Amino acid sequence: MPRLRLPTPPLPAALQPRPKRPGANNGPTKPLDQATEAGVTVVDWIDERTSLSGGVRWMLFRKVPKGTNWFYTLGSAAMFAFLSQAVTGVFLAMYYDPSPTRAYESIRYITNEAFLGEFVRGMHKWGSTVMVVLVFLHMGRTFFFGAYKYPRELNWVIGVVLLILTMTMSFTGYLLPFDQRSYWATIVGVNINGTGPLIGPYLSDFLRAGPEFGATTLSRFYAIHMLLVPGLIAAMIGAHLYLVAKLGTTAPPWLKAKPDQAPTESA
Ligand code: HEM
């Protein structure tokens, strides 16, 4: 089948070179002009050395199908929830101590004494629920719009991995305050993992860092929660977005393409 090429998307207006005015001193005069020129100069300077602008334009300037609506924002909303978790998590990590004897006290300090600690902890705690809800709503949108079908099956599979990783974040984060509720809930959760077929017992041993819930369990959960899984989520979101940019988004199922509007091949 011949390859269909869409026309190259235009540069945004702010980056277009200004037309020269005859007779005038064509240098930038007003502060706003100067700021625009400075922006263009910086972008030009970086682009001359990296040729990144082609990739950025490929990623950002897309043709969007007719009928695109607010439900298409759920994926981006989930991504921003993840970014908010990453930022608030960094500040919590500045005070949190993953030791069985000091974890509870460090959380108490964050909540009652650290500057804006209660606010940042609240954002992280509520943000985790928001992220889970958004990921499920986004999955529902892609399912009901048939976006899992050819050629987007791989993006659906990456999405399933993202869903599991998001749930892993919630599960591992729940233990960190190390109070009675989080301790016993985690014991129940690890036991449930242990009942899984084949890998269940290995998984629960891995999570506990041994056959019993011990002193290293907490630091293992912490490492999974703040290093391993966020890194994997960031990489998976990168792959997910690459495929969204490459394949485009699906039109709503109630819109049918008219045969005479099919894209034509251009040079
Ligand atoms: C951390 C979790 C996730 C993030 C940040 C994320 C992000 C995104 C974004 C920004 C888009 C493009 C805009 C949109 O359609 O909303 C998208 C599209 C898509 N996502 Fe996700 N996603 C996540 C999880 C999932 C899950 C759990 C699934 C399904 C199991 C999934 C399947 C898809 C599919 C199939 C598309 C293509 C949609 C289309 O072509 O219309 N994603 N995702």
Stated pTM of the model: 0.86
> Which atom from ligand 1 is nearest to the alpha carbon of 243?
37
Hey, which CATH number is domain 70-247, 3.60.20.10, 1.10.357.10, 1.20.810.10, 1.10.3720.10?
A: 1.20.810.10
Q: Is the pLDDT of residue 265 over 60?
A: no
- Other Cβ atoms less than 10 A from the Cβ of 33: the count is 12
Distances (CA, A) of 96 to 32, 111, 119: 45, 11, 15
CA of 196 to the centre of ligand 1 (A): 27
pLDDT tens string 42-89: 989 999 999 998 898 888 888 889 999 999 999 999 999 999 999 999
pLDDT tens string 4-17: 666 767 777 777 76
Q: Among 11-25, 95-109, 147-161, 240-254, name the one with the lowest average pLDDT.
A: 11-25
Express as a percent the part of the chain with pLDDT over 90: 74
**Residue type for position 84:** S
CA of 135 to the centre of ligand 1 (A): 8
CA of 195 to the centre of ligand 1 (A): 30
Per-domain residue ranges for the chain? 70-247
> Which atom from ligand 1 is nearest to the alpha carbon of 131?
1
Q: Among 146-160, 221-235, 248-262, name the one with the lowest average pLDDT.
A: 248-262
Mean pLDDT of the chain: 91
CB 88 within 8 A of CB 127: yes
> Which atom from ligand 1 is nearest to the alpha carbon of 152?
35
Higher pLDDT, 25 or 252: 252
Q: Which of 240, 241, 254 to mutate to test the pocket of ligand 1 (most atoms within 8 A of CB)?
A: 240
* Atom 11 in ligand 1: residue holding the nearest Cα: 75
CA of 232 to the centre of ligand 1 (A): 16
> Which atom from ligand 1 is nearest to the alpha carbon of 81?
5
Phi-psi category of 212—alpha, beta or left, where left has phi over 0 and alpha has psi -120 to 50? beta
Question: Cα–Cα distance between 182 and 107 in angstroms, integer?
Answer: 13
- Pocket-forming residues, ligand 1, beta carbon under 6 Å: 72, 74-76, 78-79, 82, 135, 138-139, 142, 145, 147-148, 152, 155-156, 159-160, 162-163, 166, 237, 240, 244, 249-250
- Other Cβ atoms less than 10 A from the Cβ of 187: the count is 14
pLDDT at 266: 47
pLDDT at 66: 92
pLDDT at 18: 67
pLDDT tens string 84-106: 999 999 999 999 999 999 999 99
Pick from 117, 128, 139, 122: which is nearest to 172 by CA?
128
Question: Cα–Cα distance between 163 and 82 in angstroms, integer?
Answer: 12
CB 155 within 8 A of CB 244: yes
Q: Which of 142, 150, 157, 249 to mutate to test the pocket of ligand 1 (most atoms within 8 A of CB)?
A: 142
Q: Among 10-14, 69-73, 179-183, 237-241, name the one with the lowest average pLDDT.
A: 10-14
- Residue 81 phi/psi, 5-degree rounding, is -60, -40
